[in-house]
């Protein structure tokens, strides 16, 4: 019975990892072979083939994805977390909060975060971190709402909850938000925007606030619900080119 349960959880974790990798691949491949190729080569200190570098980086990401999926499947219940959650809850969140979440992203997200990446960074560095057409913006939406939620919530937050033995989920949410916010700085360093100005702090604040909200949804309703809410907030990336904002 125990071995059957372990095998079932392992199968579910691997399946979740495969779905996540498939969701992330189109956007990461497109950007790595295009707009990100020069920064990646600089980071690696090489001038080699972009495809080779991407293959190695994506292999590392696959390791992270599968590790996080297995962590969530095996440890979420142990640390009093809802784990994958229910599709009904995810639907209800999108139905009730989808429009306000999108408006929040369009207004607050643009002012604190997106304007920096669509306008300030390209003007300073000549590099577009985000795509400016609808098709690849859809790929971006799929990447952030599936891959990032699976890694940060199912993986990192579950591990953070383990630090408190599942008794302090709010602290786990805060720790994860701090960790996720640090990646805003990493994104800017990636394109050689190496200054600590107001734009950087705005991006960190946005990331921290949004990850607090998503973390609270995850610890109460599960991964599907946090993915659903994030998809609503990040639908703004698809609207920007439609509205002519980028």
Q: Judge contact between 87 and 177, C-beta under 8 A.
A: no
Question: Can you tell me the distance from the alpha carbon of 175 to that of 156, in angstroms, rounded to the nearest whole number?
Answer: 9
- What is the radius of gyration, based on Cα positions, of the chain? 18
Q: Judge contact between 35 and 118, C-beta under 8 A.
A: no
Which two structure tokens, joined as six digits, stand for 237?
């990336």
Which two structure tokens, joined as six digits, stand for 30?
């497109």
Give the predicted TM-score (pTM) of the model.
Answer: 0.92
Q: Judge contact between 175 and 153, C-beta under 8 A.
A: no
Q: Judge contact between 88 and 35, C-beta under 8 A.
A: no
Question: Can you tell me the distance from the alpha carbon of 21 to that of 59, in angstroms, rounded to the nearest whole number?
Answer: 10
In 33-166, alpha helices (H): 37-44, 50-75, 87-104, 115, 121-125, 134-142, 149, 158-163
- Residue that the structure tokens 């199968």 belong to: 11
Angle at 64 between CA 235 and CA 157, to 5 degrees: 65
Angle at 63 between CA 57 and CA 67, to 5 degrees: 150
What is the end-to-end Cα distance of the chain in Å, rounded?
55
- Would you state the pLDDT for residue 204? 95
Q: Judge contact between 85 and 72, C-beta under 8 A.
A: no
- Would you state the pLDDT for residue 4? 65
Question: Can you tell me the distance from the alpha carbon of 122 to that of 57, in angstroms, rounded to the nearest whole number?
Answer: 24
Under the phi-then-psi rule, with left for phi > 0, alpha for psi from -120 to 50, and beta for the rest, what region is 45?
left
Q: Please tell me what DSSP assigns to residue 151.
A: I
- Would you state the pLDDT for residue 1? 44
Digit-by-digit pLDDT tens for the chain (246 residues) are: 446 688 888 999 999 999 999 999 999 999 988 888 878 777 776 666 767 778 888 999 999 999 999 999 999 999 999 999 999 999 999 999 999 999 999 999 999 999 999 999 899 888 888 999 999 999 999 999 999 999 999 999 999 999 998 888 999 999 999 999 998 888 888 888 878 889 999 999 999 999 999 999 999 999 999 999 999 999 999 999 999 999
């Amino acid at each position: 019975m125990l071995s059957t349960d372990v095998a079932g959880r392992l199968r579910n974790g691997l399946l979740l990892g495969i779905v996540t990798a498939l969701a992330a691949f189109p956007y990461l491949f497109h950007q790595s072979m295009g707009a990100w190729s020069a920064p990646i080569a600089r980071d690696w200190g090489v001038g080699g083939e972009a495809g080779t570098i991407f293959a190695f980086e994506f292999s590392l990401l696959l390791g992270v994805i599968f590790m996080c999926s297995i962590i969530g499947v095996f440890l979420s219940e142990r640390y009093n977390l809802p784990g994958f959650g229910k599709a009904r809850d995810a639907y209800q969140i999108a139905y009730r909060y989808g429009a306000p979440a999108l408006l929040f992203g369009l207004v607050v997200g643009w002012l604190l975060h997106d304007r920096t990446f669509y306008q300030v960074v390209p003007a300073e560095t000549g590099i577009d971190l985000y795509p400016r057409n609808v098709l690849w913006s859809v790929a971006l939406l799929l990447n952030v709402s599936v891959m990032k939620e699976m890694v940060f919530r199912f993986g990192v937050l579950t591990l953070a909850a383990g630090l408190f033995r599942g008794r302090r989920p709010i602290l786990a949410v805060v720790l994860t938000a701090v960790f996720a916010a640090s990646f805003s700085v990493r994104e800017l360093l990636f394109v050689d925007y190496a200054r600590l100005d107001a734009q950087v702090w705005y991006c960190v604040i946005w990331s921290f606030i949004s990850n607090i909200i998503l973390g609270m949804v995850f610890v109460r309703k599960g991964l599907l619900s946090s993915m659903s809410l994030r998809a609503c907030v990040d639908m703004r990336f698809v609207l920007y080119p439609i509205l002519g904002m980028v």
